[in-house]
Structure 1
Amino acid sequence: MSGNSQDKGVTGAAKFVTSTVGNTVGGIGRTVGGVTGAAARGVGDTITSATGSAGKPVGDAIGSVGTGIQGGADSVSKGVENAGQWKGS
């Protein structure tokens, strides 16, 4: 018997739908996280440029928050994609 019998019939159809939805939601989450992260880093760089060394700690902190948001969104997106493909963590 070839192939995985669990990937046929209703189960196969369910996996296809959840995989498609999971990949779509994961991709959207990753995009939003990337845009938000880049925007926050841009704001941080602007603050640092405008205020010099006095504002550098604030600019760096805002940039770090942006990087954290992007990393968190990537992690959540990967989890959604894995769930959509019926994978464990």
Structure 2
Amino acid sequence: MPIQNSKDSGVTGAAKFVTSTVGNTVGGIGRTVGNVTGALGRGIGDTITGATGSAGKPVGDAIGSIGTGVENGAASVAKGVENAGQWKK
């Protein structure tokens, strides 16, 4: 007879399954939104830089950096949500 891990059986196991599923879903959505926002910011920044040349480069670079910052922040939050859903510290 196999030995079961009692901490992941019954109600606790069901709760971990539900929170893990929800955490992974919310984390995935958050990461997707962050990736899209980051790509959009960098694209707009590159467009401004390309259209205005060196005069608009600081503005274009700033917008691109904001996009990357949002993307990185969203990825960090998404990882935290996924970890919480898996009951990790």
Class of the TM-score when normalised by the shorter of the 2 chains:
over 0.9
Aligned partner of 1:18 in structure 2 is 19
Aligned partner of 2:43 in structure 1 is 42
Count of residues in Structure 1 that have an aligned counterpart in Structure 2: 88
TM-score (norm 2): 0.96
Comparing 2-11 and 58-67, the one that deviates more: 2-11
How do 1:57-68 and structure 2 match up within 5 A?
57-68=58-69
- CA-CA distance at 1:3 after TM superposition: 3.5
- CA-CA distance at 1:2 after TM superposition: 2.4
Give unpaired runs (5+ residues) of structure 1: none
- CA-CA distance at 1:15 after TM superposition: 0.1
* 1:8-43 deviation per Cα after TM superposition (whole angstroms, max 9, x unaligned): 000000000000000000000000000000000000
RMSD: 0.9
Give unpaired runs (5+ residues) of structure 2: none
Instruction: Name the amino acid aligned to 2:10.
Output: G
Question: Aligned partners of 1:55, 1:3: CA distance in 2, in Å?
Answer: 63
Name the SS of the counterpart of 2:83 in structure 1: helix
Aligned partner of 1:53 in structure 2 is 54
- CA-CA distance at 1:45 after TM superposition: 0.2
Name the SS of the counterpart of 2:87 in structure 1: coil
Identity %, equivalent residues? 81
Question: Aligned partners of 1:13, 1:79: CA distance in 2, in Å?
Answer: 21
- CA-CA distance at 1:84 after TM superposition: 0.2
